[in-house]
């Protein structure tokens, strides 16, 4: 079996793949049809479809090298646990993390189930392979005082008043509504003025209703009063200095500046404000189901990581305050 270079080559990136056999036309067609189905019937995002395509191309290329001939749909029923384990070992040897490998194997299982239904194949042996275990990393939220400090500093961080007001409005929206940065920056003029609840179309096309705090509405209104740009229905709500849509990179750069000014760790990113929204709601008595809806998580297990964050915070408080510590 041909493998790429190992993870010990001195780089954090996965090792390059060796020269691959061309994908068989029938398999290429099957993969395209599966991806089209995922996009149409499951409303997958373009990012997810691209990830699935990369996952399956990696797997099918490995099968071609492993067996010495391009993989074809009718032979996928011959796959065994040994084939899947060999692929997993090859990926780990390239430096793929356990988490990324688990996601890759999940996409492969979905594709195998789909093609088994259409080709009348038995892929149970391949599907019986367990995914690698990995430790789900906990979010790194800011404390309440830290979040307030970020917003206060953003208000005076730029010499141009409308830019400082814009930065404050964006960060207030992330922290006050728990939006992803892409969701906040996708807002247009037709979304203003913000209603009591904002309809957000998030990952996988899932829509959710997010209550808008008065402080967020007030921050955006203050920014728009100072903005030199007219706001038409199709214009971006948040603009860059040249008038185009504000980019996520610009907000990330802003957070770098703010965390340096406040002495915060590198984990203080725009997404950390969304984490802070969820964690602070939970600490104030919010229930997980409600927080799941507000964040737009498809699975409750994704939201449950915040219970671990809250438990960790309680342990830290106990250790710091208990007289026997």
What CATH architecture applies to the domain 7-127? Answer: Orthogonal Bundle (1.10)
pLDDT mean for each 10 residues of the chain (325 residues): 37 47 83 89 79 92 88 89 89 83 88 91 83 60 89 94 96 89 92 86 76 90 96 95 94 94 90 82 69 64 58 49 50
User: Which pLDDT belongs to residue 12?
Assistant: 41
User: Which pLDDT belongs to residue 276?
Assistant: 84
User: Which pLDDT belongs to residue 136?
Assistant: 57
Residues designated catalytic: 180, 203, 271, 274, 297, 306
**Nearest to 212, CA basis, from 306, 300, 147, 277:** 277
Provide the 3-class DSSP secondary structure of residue 59.
Answer: helix
One fold for 7-127 and 144-321: no
| DSSP letters for 43-58 | ---HHHHHHHHHHHHH
User: Which pLDDT belongs to residue 7?
Assistant: 36
| DSSP letters for 209-273 | EEE--HHHHHHHHHHHHH-SS---TTSBSSB-TTSSBPPHHHHHHHHHHHHHHHT--TT--HHHH
HSE-CB at 236 with a 13 A cutoff on CA atoms is 17
Domain 144-321 in CATH: superfamily? Intergrase catalytic core (1.10.443.10)
Where are any strands of DSSP class E within 218-264? none
User: Which pLDDT belongs to residue 166?
Assistant: 97
Strand partners, 200: 208
pTM of the model: 0.57
User: Which pLDDT belongs to residue 249?
Assistant: 92
Q: What tokens does 2 get?
A: 């041909």
User: Which pLDDT belongs to residue 97?
Assistant: 81
CA pseudo-torsion sign 135, 136, 137, 140: negative
Beta pairing class for 197-201 and 207-211: antiparallel
User: Which pLDDT belongs to residue 298?
Assistant: 57
What residues does each domain of the chain span?
7-127, 144-321
Q: What tokens does 119 get?
A: 């080709």
Task: For residue 13, count other CB atoms closer than 10 A to its CB.
Answer: 9
């Amino acid at each position: 079996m041909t493998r790429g270079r190992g993870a010990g080559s001195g780089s954090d990136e996965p090792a390059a793949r060796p020269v691959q056999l061309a994908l068989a036309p029938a398999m290429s067609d099957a993969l395209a049809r599966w991806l089209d189905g995922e996009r149409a019937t499951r409303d997958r995002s373009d990012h997810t479809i691209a990830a699935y395509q990369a996952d399956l191309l990696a797997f099918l290329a490995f099968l071609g090298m492993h067996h010495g001939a391009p993989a074809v749909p009718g032979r996928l029923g011959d796959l065994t646990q040994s084939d899947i384990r060999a692929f997993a070992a090859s990926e780990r040897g390239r430096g793929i993390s356990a988490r990324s490998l688990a996601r890759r194997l999940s996409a492969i299982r979905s594709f195998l189930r789909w093609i088994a239904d259409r080709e009348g194949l038995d892929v149970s042996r391949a599907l019986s392979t367990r995914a690698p275990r990995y430790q789900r990393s906990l979010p790194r939220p800011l404390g309440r005082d830290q979040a307030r400090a970020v917003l206060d500093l953003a208000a005076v961080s730029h010499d141009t008043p409308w830019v400082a007001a814009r930065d404050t409005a964006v960060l207030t929206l992330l922290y006050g509504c728990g939006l992803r940065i892409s969701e906040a920056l996708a807002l247009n003029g037709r979304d203003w003025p913000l209603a009591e609840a904002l309809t957000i179309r998030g990952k996988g096309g899932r829509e959710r209703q997010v209550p808008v705090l008065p402080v967020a509405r007030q921050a955006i209104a203050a920014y728009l009063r100072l903005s030199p740009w007219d706001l038409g229905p199709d214009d971006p709500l948040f603009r860059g200095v040249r008038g185009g849509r504000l980019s996520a990179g610009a907000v990330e750069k802003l957070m770098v500046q703010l965390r340096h000014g406040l002495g915060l760790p590198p984990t203080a990113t725009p997404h950390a404000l969304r984490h802070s929204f969820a964690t602070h709601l939970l600490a104030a008595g919010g229930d997980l189901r409600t927080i799941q809806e507000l964040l737009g998580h498809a699975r409750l297990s994704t939201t449950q990581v915040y219970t671990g964050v809250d438990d960790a915070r309680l342990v830290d408080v106990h250790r710091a305050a208990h007289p026997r510590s």
